[in-house]
Each structure stands twice: as C-alpha cells, then as structure tokens.
Amino acid sequence: MSKVTIQGDASGTGIFTIASPNSNTDRTLTLPDEAGTIITTAGVPASAMPAGSVLQVVQSVWTTRVSTTSTSFVTTGHTASITPSSSSNKILISLSGGGWYNNNVVNKNLHTTIYRDAINLEPTAGAGFEVNYCNAYFAMPHSIVYLDSPSTTSATTYTIYFKAESGGTSVYTQFANTTPGIPVTLTLMEIAA
C-alpha cells in the first residue's frame, strides 16, 4: 500500500494548514504519479512552466525620426530591456512596423541588426538581419524575428542598429517626409527552456 507523507521544512517557521471546504459531500483527491509543483490560484512559478511557455513580455514603441549616412552599424536609440528568470531560457525578439526609406537615392539598401548589449547578433557578418532594398522614397516596414540565448539572469538590453550603403541617407522610421515617424515595435519575450 502506498503511503502519503507530509514533510516540513527544517529551516521554516511558518505553519501550513490544510483546510476542508464547507461541504456535505465526500470527495477524494487523487495525486498524480509524478513529481512536480502544484498549481494554485496564486499563479504558477516560472520554474514550473513547461518548455516553450512565454514567461514575460517587454515592448518598446519608437516613433522618433532617426537617419544615418554611415556605412557601419550605428545605434538607432531604439532599445528594450528584459531580465531573464533563468540563464537557460531564451529571448524571442521581434521587430515590426515603421516605414524606413533611403532619401531619394535609387538602388540603395538599408541594413538593420540587433545588438545584445555590445554584441551584434547578426547571423552573417556585416549584413545584419534585414537588408531592405530602397528605390528612391520606396518605404517598407521592418520585419525581424530572432530567438536569442543570452545565458544570464541579469538585465539584458537589446538595441536596434542600422547602416546605409554609400550614396544616401537611410531613415529608420519615417515614411517620406511625414512627422512623427510611423511606429516601430520592438518586442522581447522570455521563453522557458
């Protein structure tokens, strides 16, 4: 016959009471045959969430017009910070919206990348995550999705960088000459490992 043992914590001083509801019906609670954490109305701790669960979401919306003629990556100033609850968890990064363009210069490209603190996360050196073809004032929204492994529980800042190809001024978020810029949304989601 299996047995049920209630074991206290040697270093704790609190008293836990198991109380029955006001009921006239006999009920049986069957425990699952596995280890784990009991879910309560107080919420599920991050450590008990299954792999793939979204643990927290941080969002930053940017509308300031930022431009560059640099052919090396420079910051847009658009950032978002998140503090992972576990060093094994991942951060899903999404950049969307806005309207970048190249200032009246035909056949030029705008490159966009993501930095984690001082590290460029681009998969191909120098190309960034996004290479948008510009034809005069032709405008396109940003579209980047990347799953990062920061391997830390410290506050981590993600910043969008961009650069232009020679011969024009590339604008991070603005359609033609409208003011203010069309919003660009940077979203960070902590994903349980």
Higher confidence at residue 185 or residue 11?
Answer: 185
> What's the pLDDT band for 56 if we cut at 50, 70, 90?
very high
Arithmetic mean of pLDDT over the chain: 84
CATH class of the region 52-191: mainly beta
% of the chain exceeding 90 in pLDDT:
40
pTM of the full structure: 0.77
Task: From residue 107, give the alpha-carbon distance in Å to each of 59, 99, 110, 163.
Answer: 33, 17, 10, 15
| pLDDT score of 177 more than 70 | no
- Segment 107-134 shows an average pLDDT of 85
Can you tell me the distance from the alpha carbon of 193 to that of 189, in angstroms, rounded to the nearest whole number? 12
- Give the Cα separation of 183 and 145 in Å (integer): 17
Report the candidate in 170, 129, 126, 164 with the shortest Cα–Cα distance to residue 146: 129
Q: Are 151 and 143 in contact (CB under 8 A)?
A: no
Per-residue pLDDT tens for 142-159?
Answer: 899 999 999 999 999 999
pLDDT range class, residue 32, cuts 50, 70, 90: confident
Task: Give the Å distances, CA to CA, from 142 to 89, 127, 157, 184.
Answer: 26, 15, 19, 7
Q: Categorize the per-residue pLDDT at 18 as very low, low, confident or very high, splitting at 50, 70 and 90.
A: confident
pLDDT at 131: 78
**CB contact burial 97-131 (16+ within 10 A = b; e otherwise):** bbbbbbbebeebbbbbbbbbeeeebbeeeeebbbe
Strand-pair partners of 96 = 143, 185
Cα–Cα distance for residue pair 167/170, rounded to 1 Å: 10
Token pair for residue 116?
């984690």
Sketch the domain layout of the chain as residue ranges. Answer: 52-191
Residue with tokens 């995550």: 129
Mean pLDDT, residues 7-33: 83
What number is the average pLDDT over the span 38-67? 84
Judge whether residue 37 has pLDDT over 70.
no
